[in-house]
Amino acid sequence: MGAAYFYHLTRKPLQVTLPVLLDKARGAGWRIVVRGQDADQLAWLDESLWQGNEVSFLAHGVAGGPHDALQPILLTTATEAANAPDCVMTLGGATISPQEVQALQRVCILFDGNDPEAVQQARGQWKSLTGAGCFAQYWSEESGRWEKKAEA
């Protein structure tokens, strides 16, 4: 049974935090889907990841290509993923169901702590997922480093 980890971004932007989480998930041997709601944001992330850092290259692709099933990291707006992921990372309030959480190794829900609407949406997801019996952790970087603030 999987777990949902909520990441409340308040200090470091998405383009800094996401590659760190992707690198850790790849280090665990997982295939990953990055699910967003905005195709333009995913295109921007695609470019950002290709420019990434020299130490840890993150091979990835955007859904709709001929090799989606082979991608270790697939960026998509769809709920179905061709790369059979072990981990789904959601951005911008993209939906995730309790059934998905339970079927995956990990779900990471990244949300902008400076956007009240994103915070409210994440609270709703927390309530929905934990209410359905999913294990969840809430992580905050408010102090300057990531700290687990809640678990259910």
Question: How high is the pLDDT of residue 1?
Answer: 72
The model's pTM: 0.93
Does the pLDDT at position 54 exceed 70? no
CATH number, domain of 132, equals 3.40.50.10110
Q: Quote the pLDDT of residue 49.
A: 85
The residue range of the domain holding 142 is 3-108+115-151
Nearest to 130 by CA among 141, 122, 140: 122
Tell me if 23 sits within 8 A of 60, measured CB to CB.
no
Q: Which tokens is 122 given?
A: 């994440």
The number of domains in the chain is 1
CA 152/CA 150 separation, integer angstroms: 7
Q: What is the pLDDT of residue 53?
A: 62
